[in-house]
Amino acid sequence: MTKAGLWGMDEWIGAMDEKWKGGLFTFGGLLTFCANAMFLVGLIDDF
Protein backbone atom coordinates (compact mmCIF):
# COMPACT_ATOMS: atom_id res chain seq x y z
CA MET A 1 0.00 0.00 0.00
CA THR A 2 1.29 3.44 -0.87
CA LYS A 3 1.79 6.26 1.60
CA ALA A 4 -1.01 8.19 -0.10
CA GLY A 5 -3.32 5.19 0.27
CA LEU A 6 -2.47 4.82 3.94
CA TRP A 7 -2.92 8.53 4.52
CA GLY A 8 -6.32 8.41 2.80
CA MET A 9 -7.36 5.53 5.04
CA ASP A 10 -6.15 7.43 8.10
CA GLU A 11 -8.13 10.48 7.00
CA TRP A 12 -11.26 8.34 6.48
CA ILE A 13 -10.89 6.80 9.95
CA GLY A 14 -10.40 10.30 11.38
CA ALA A 15 -13.56 11.50 9.64
CA MET A 16 -15.46 8.50 11.07
CA ASP A 17 -14.17 9.35 14.55
CA GLU A 18 -15.34 12.94 14.17
CA LYS A 19 -18.81 11.77 13.13
CA TRP A 20 -19.07 9.47 16.14
CA LYS A 21 -17.89 12.23 18.50
CA GLY A 22 -20.41 14.57 16.93
CA GLY A 23 -23.14 12.09 17.78
CA LEU A 24 -24.09 11.63 14.13
CA PHE A 25 -25.21 8.07 13.61
CA THR A 26 -24.31 7.75 9.95
CA PHE A 27 -24.61 4.71 7.72
CA GLY A 28 -20.83 4.65 7.32
CA GLY A 29 -20.36 4.80 11.08
CA LEU A 30 -22.86 1.97 11.52
CA LEU A 31 -21.04 -0.15 8.93
CA THR A 32 -17.71 0.52 10.64
CA PHE A 33 -19.20 -0.44 14.00
CA CYS A 34 -20.67 -3.67 12.59
CA ALA A 35 -17.39 -4.55 10.88
CA ASN A 36 -15.50 -4.05 14.15
CA ALA A 37 -18.06 -6.11 16.08
CA MET A 38 -17.85 -8.94 13.54
CA PHE A 39 -14.04 -8.82 13.68
CA LEU A 40 -14.05 -9.05 17.49
CA VAL A 41 -16.57 -11.91 17.44
CA GLY A 42 -14.36 -13.70 14.89
CA LEU A 43 -11.33 -13.30 17.16
CA ILE A 44 -13.21 -14.60 20.18
CA ASP A 45 -14.56 -17.56 18.19
CA ASP A 46 -11.01 -18.57 17.24
CA PHE A 47 -10.12 -19.38 20.86
One-letter amino acid of 29: G
Give the per-residue pLDDT at 3.
Answer: 61
Report yes or no: 21 and 9 within 8 Å, Cβ to Cβ: no
Give the per-residue pLDDT at 5.
Answer: 57
The ranges assigned to domains in the chain are: 3-45
Of the candidates 35, 30, 4, 36, the one whose C-alpha atom is nearest the C-alpha of residue 16 is 30
Give the per-residue pLDDT at 35.
Answer: 85
Please give the backbone phi and psi of residue 33, each rounded to the nearest 5 degrees, phi first: -60, -45
Of the candidates 38, 31, 34, the one whose C-alpha atom is nearest the C-alpha of residue 12 is 31
Per-residue pLDDT of the chain (47 residues; tens, 9 = 90+): 456 655 666 777 777 666 666 555 566 777 788 788 888 888 877 76
Give the per-residue pLDDT at 27.
Answer: 67
Give the per-residue pLDDT at 14.
Answer: 74
